Chain A
């Protein structure tokens, strides 16, 4: 049953993406929707991303300090480890998983509600490509804006590490700055941004797929929202592995 279900959903997903990436009927309306989605999916996530990044940066710094309590290890290693953890994994993968919960469930429930209240049918009857009109702006907005969220997360995370690390006395400002500059590899940022763009596509397209194809009532909308978060998260983890192997090996 599992392979049949898997292939059925893959086929449906690719067919939906075919409709999504058809040429927009009116570019003016597409841009209007795009701006709306940047605000709804991107800007509204800025606060939560900043808060989580600040605390995670702080926790990573304290944990690294605790694990490197050895006079043979230079203190600036704390800053270096915090920087690499944030740049390589936290600001792309962890933030993507958080966004899968916040943005993914929002997309699935919005489209699911539109489906069960016949708003999508209304678009189709008017002759509008509903998938293109509703989903394409979400995918493009997330792919365009999430790299910015990733950069914000990196900055705030490293700042949080310094703030709490110096406040609790596990590292000095000088040592922390030396640590975050030591053996810095700018490619890590590129790597993280590439992953973020791919993850943005995964979150929005999978969530849209589950929301757009809801059948039934409000209970099904809730279920589709849960499925959207679960499958987006699993696919993110899978692609994290693939991209890491491709981009860092």
Chain B
């Protein structure tokens, strides 16, 4: 579980996050949604510690990450897996080396054990026989899957995904979404996904947090969205004519 208590973050005079308090539950896929520039990425980067917050608390399990010392933060980070928007795979390393990197760095596994674990992770994301390919030789969807395999290599307690579907076609997006959901439930991890893809929201959103202009505007489940009276949420989620039609159909039903 990850808890955020009264989190504030600003850059100069611009307040980006304004008093955000929310709890992300274990074993669930938690989604942060919002328009571009609403503060989603800043929030995600603040949670993982890439950005320092101005005030408030970020609590992983029982440990207050914000007030922790360097070594405690480092230990928590070893329990974090992250899927970046572009995959963030190491260009000069093969798929196998990318997935095996956390194992090289933080375990004393033998080469055979490492290879076994790497192959297991690649199989888990349905990406076999790609071990010796470089990131430049694989598609966007495959890159995302390699990044997920790397993120789960050390069996993390927390998984963060920043726009996992950006640049992917709808079919591949569904595959990635389902993979994230399956892994979350299988390993009982706390997953936070940053997205503005409404298909993802409807597909995997156990809990949805809507950020609007740096404020937490709404939170609930994916089913609650259809019955919400929050105007900014409705404007965002059902912006398209198709979205409006779906909402009216659900409400009338």
Interface of B is mostly: mixed
Residue of B whose beta carbon sits closest to that of A129:
B74
Q: Which of A113, A114, A121 touches B84 (beta carbons < 8 Å)?
A: A121
Contacts of A117 in B (CB 8 A): 86, 88, 91
Interface centre among A26, A29, A122, A126 (most CB of B within 10 A): A126
In the complex, what residues of A have CB within 8 A of residue B86's CB?
117-118
Contact partner, A118, options B75, B77, B84, B160, Cβ 8 Å: B84
A127-B88 in contact (CB<8A) = no
User: Do A29 and B106 touch (CB < 8 A)?
Assistant: no
Q: Which of A113, A114, A121, A127 contacts B74 (CB 8 A)?
A: A127
Interface pair B91/A119, CB less than 8 Å apart: yes
B124 located at the interface, meaning its Cβ lies under 8 Å from any Cβ of chain A in the complex: no
| Contact with B82, one of A25, A122, A128 (Cβ below 8 angstroms) | A122
In chain A, what residue has the closest Cβ to B50? A121
Whether the Cβ atoms of A125 and B105 lie closer than 8 Å is no
Contact with B along A94-135 (1 / 0, CB 8 A): 000000000000000000011001110110111110000000
Per-residue interface assignment for chain A, residues 117 to 155, with 1 indicating a CB less than 8 Å from any chain B CB and 0 otherwise: 111011011111000000000000000000000000000
How many Å lie between the Cα of A39 and that of B62 in the bound state? 47
Interface size on A, residues (CB 8 A): 15
B140 on the interface (CB 8 Å rule)?
no
A51→B223 CA distance, assembly (Å): 70
Query: How far is A126 from B101 in the complex, measured between Cα atoms in Å?
Result: 10
Chain B contact-residue range equals 20 to 34
- Most A C-beta atoms less than 10 A away, residue of B48, B102, B105: B105
Knowing A125-B82, A127-B74, say if A118 contacts B88 (CB, 8 Å). Answer: yes
Contact partners of B105 in chain A: CB under 8 A: 25-26, 29, 126, 128
Q: B84-100 interface mask toward A, CB cutoff 8 Å, 1 = contact, 0 = none?
A: 11101111000000000
Binding site for A on B (CB under 8 A): 48-50, 74-75, 77-78, 80, 82, 84-86, 88-91, 101-102, 104-106, 160
- Give 3 closest A-B pairs by Cβ, nearest first: A127-B77, A122-B88, A118-B88
- 5 new A-B contacts at CB < 8 Å, known A117-B91, A125-B82, A125-B160: A25-B105, A118-B85, A124-B50, A124-B77, A125-B49
